[in-house]
Amino acid sequence: YFSKDLAPKLTVASGTTLKVEMATHHACDDWDKMVKGDPGMESIFHWSGDVKNVAQRGATGGGDGVHVLTGPIFVEEAMPGDILKVEIMDLEPRVNPSGKTFGSNAAAWWGYQARVPKVNGETYKAGDFTGTPAENDELVTIYELKSDAHGTFAEPSYQFHWPNLTDPEGVHRNYIAYPGTCVPHDFEG
């Protein structure tokens, strides 16, 4: 959730160098590898029948987006409409408490197919990739980032089809309609 109506989490002078932590909204695809034991990640992804720590998502706060955003950060003397130059000095993968770094990639319904209607005007839906509309063909790959003398690379750990699940608010999800929905922690893929 990111809105101009939120109070700044941080105020800085122009030219300030910051270290900002980030998280992927797909971390909950494998709670044990990307969330468990990391207090910052656990605070973002805690979602039970009673509590959802990040209750609002998207620019309007109405759930129209899923990305975990940092901020807002207010730059002193900046005015509405000003163009701010932001220079990213370095990016480092987030390391879990065991010292490893994992990520998730979803082959899902969004992207090109989600934005371009079929010739007959219908939209693409789960199952359209493989022509099996009764089946969910969305595939999640959990990978580990590793480094050697040649550089850093991603090594797939395992894959699973997106499961049918009911989220803590009682909504049944049979495809990745809302990335950031936690796959059950005991899901075996």
DSSP code per residue over 104-117: EEEE-S-SHHHHS-
Q: Is 61 left (phi over 0), alpha (psi -120 to 50) or beta?
A: left
The confidence score (pLDDT) of residue 51 equals 72
Confidence at residue 134, expressed as pLDDT on a 0 to 100 scale: 57
pLDDT of residue 189: 47
Q: Provide block-wise average pLDDT over 10 residues at a time, the chain (189 residues).
A: 77 94 86 93 80 62 62 91 93 93 83 58 60 66 94 93 77 68 64
- 96's tokens: 């879990």
Between the two ends of the chain, the Cα-to-Cα distance in Å is: 29
pLDDT at residue 128, as a whole number:
57
What's the pLDDT score for residue 6?
80
185 vs 189: CA distance, rounded Å: 11
* Dist. CA 82–CA 181, nearest whole Å: 35
CA neighbor of 105 nearest in space, from 136, 139, 129? 139
Residue 172: strand pairing partners? 166
pLDDT of residue 183: 76
